[in-house]
Amino acid sequence: MHEFSIVEAMIGKVVAALPNAKPGTVRALHFRRGSTFSESSLRLAFELVSKGTVLENAELIVDTVNHAYHCTCGYQQVITSDDLLGHMFVCPQCGAVSEIDEAHDLTLLDVILREPTAATVAQP
């Protein structure tokens, strides 16, 4: 549930930054996530937190950056959220435990607004 609170905080900041925006104004949000931050958790949290806000039904664009693990024993792999035990990764070769901080694995890159249509543009 750590991912949920991270997404909730980010969405709260976006909604607060758009106080006068009407529903449907935001077309998409563009995120970059590390491979240790669960994409399914991101999408579920976004769906739940955005309900009833200006972000409801906005598209999520998600780029993924691999989190490469290099153990002192020489073992290497790309870590995904499925490889973690809580916030820990255990090297399958030597058993070394490394803490992984997913909070730094999610970045909001862009908020993409819809272009106003002729019907929504105020006429003088």
Compute and round to an integer the Cα radius of gyration of the chain. Answer: 18
Which pLDDT belongs to residue 22?
82
CATH class of 2-113: alpha beta
Token output for 105? 């694995």
Asked if 80 contacts 36 with a C-beta cutoff of 8 angstroms, the reply is yes
**91, pLDDT greater than 90:** yes
Asked if 25 contacts 33 with a C-beta cutoff of 8 angstroms, the reply is no
Q: How confident is the model at residue 124 (pLDDT cuts 50, 70, 90)?
A: very low
pLDDT in tens, 28-46: 999 999 888 889 999 999 9
What does residue 83 show for φ and ψ, rounded to 5 degrees?
Answer: -85, -10
- Alpha-carbon distance of 85 to 38, in angstroms, equals 13
Q: What is the pTM of this model?
A: 0.78
Instruction: Tell me if residue 114 falls in helix, strand or coil.
Output: coil
Q: How confident is the model at residue 121 (pLDDT cuts 50, 70, 90)?
A: very low
CA distance to 1, 39, 82, 84, 89, per residue, from 102 (Å): 11, 12, 13, 10, 12
* Higher pLDDT among residues 114 and 104, named by residue: 114
